[in-house]
Structure 1
Amino acid sequence: MEFLVVSPQGLGDSLEATPIVAALKRAIPDASIDVVVTRPGPRLLFSGLPNLVRNVIYLPYWEKGAVAFTLSLIAHCRSRHYDASFLSYPAARGEYHFATRAFGARRRYAHRYDRITITNLLWLHTTLVEVGQYHNILRNLDLVAAAGFPVDRSTTYVVPPSWRIDGPQRRCIAIHPGSIAHGGLEMKRWPEDNFRELAQRLLKDGYEVTLISGPAERDIVSRISAQVPEARVFEGALDEVARFLSTCSATVSNDSGIAHLAAAAGAAVLALHGPTPVEFGPYGKRAVAFRPTLFPPCFDVRRLNVGCALDPNFACLKRDLPVDLVHRRLLDLLQHDAKPIRPNSVMETS
């Protein structure tokens, strides 16, 4: 059988889609599975899983725009005849439904984001699955179950084996102060000064601190680094970042792809959530999606909204996630998730 998995979002959402591929391959070992992506990071991720994925089809929607996306879609959409396609969650944009339909799979599985209308294109699928009140990984596995295949709901992320370094971890805390920035999604970020203060406290606690940088947060990292010169900075290719995170005691991050990457690499993770629900956070026994606010999450994938629904100026991040609380929660995570520490890994201080 031939299957198509469409994973059109960013790194975190694509990591959450890897269990779809694993479940299909487990159910039908000789199945051929292609994956559609729209960003370079997910392209690298799925290209590193040749035992699961036959081809990675890259439609450069976010990198090169709608015209390049459409031309690439036309070039690829009829190259194979698929038995079934699976549009991973979250993917409410009409473009994603249209692209999935263009590949022409006989059965097409997606989530029901809303009631079916002419404009939302949900009618392009043959089977719509209700969005469960649980983590996105489990929501994705619901698509596989709807197709009649068995699923193991204890499944977690799948990453290339070379993206992890097993063994004792260094006494180092990785801090990722950024997130995806397009369309106003920088609203998900904990205040920059809070990350700076947290880094200073962790240094006083005797931990090494490394700031994880990338194109979307170089300016933020540069400013924090200037105020906390003892903190190191790490920037690299996706696989290099994953390997580095796997050696750290823990990662503190916004709700971002890096939080998912750290969890997938086997590290303890504290992800700071405000506008986005915890169901979007990192997954696993060593992952904590921390959202202590009483405000309901206001981000809605159906609306693609980036505003503060109740207009409290993102108090969920700025007021209800003080540095003291985050610091205590991180130390608690480290205490209850202790793993062997590599010797001589504590930074020398005068």
Structure 2
Amino acid sequence: MAQQTLEVTQATTLKEKPDAATLEFGKHFSDHMFMMNYTSEEGWHHPRIVPYQPLTMDPSAMVFHYGQTVFEGLKAYRSSDGHVRLFRPEENFRRLNQSCDRLCIPTVNEEAMLDYLKEYVKLDKEWIPSEPGTSLYIRPFIISTEPTLDVSPSRTYTLMIILSPVGSFYKGGIDPVSIFVEDEFTRAAPGGTGNAKTAGNYSGAYKAQNRAAGHQKAQVLWLDGVEKRYIEEVGSMNVFFKIDGEIHTPALNGSILEGITRKSVIELLESEGMPVRERKISIDEIIAANESGSLQEVFGTGTAAVISPVGGLEYKDRDYVINNGEMGETASWLHETLVGIQTGELDDPFGWSVVLER
């Protein structure tokens, strides 16, 4: 897909913007949306920004029946100097194409998509809140649209991007969460779609999430789908452990999502001389490390929370307290540093931020 002329149709009536103090995740959407279509004859074509609106689709559109869809999530931030910043957006389009490849969806031109996104965000930049902790959530996604019940990859697709202002993930300060180790249900298995951002991975996790909530736990700690022994992810985030001063995280194995925040955390730590060991980590090892006192910190990483400290876990009906239920120094430093880079309050020696013109 070569870069094509972006068509822009501006909304004639603008929505009232929500109060930044009461923002909830994914409840409000900006005045416009980005769209682009694919057919097997024309490839990806007709990139356009149009007023935000409902879709009209055939009931037999394949996405409704077979779930051939992928998505991404990233954010735009307004810095104190008034500039708008995107955090590593090229990594999101790279990962989108990885997901497309796994789901047999045609890949997109990553450079062109980044240019389209920049224009879209600039058009709706007034929707980016400026209060501390707030941001503009960006959701690119692709759905299969061919009207057929044939069980095969679609021959037509629609790519869309929508924007949603979101409040601070930690409205009352960062409190470590307690998590439930899931040893019955499976998020993903080798050869499956665990390393793709596709809808079924998330709806398939609801049962385990409800189970965790029934145990008064905020998140699920997923184990591998074969032995139910090795740690994979926590909720929809990657997970890190600090053991005897060393940082460990499960190695990417085909069933773990390749998180962009995860990648950034590893690069940040290594830049400070703290190498991260990517390896297989068993739940038994973590329990033993906690009981011996060598487990110092556990935290999740993801776009929404950036860093989510873990203060306790439940495994086989027993609760284990981690670091006295408090946020550790490594997690605290990572959160402060990443948020500082994202918002422009700290220098960005890695070149991660894409700064848009005012």
- Asked if Structure 1 and Structure 2 have the same fold, meaning a TM-score greater than 0.5 normalized by the shorter chain, the answer is no
Could you say which structure has the higher helix fraction? 1
TM-score, normalised to structure 2, is: 0.25
The structure richer in strand per residue is: 2
Q: TM-score, normalised by structure 1?
A: 0.26
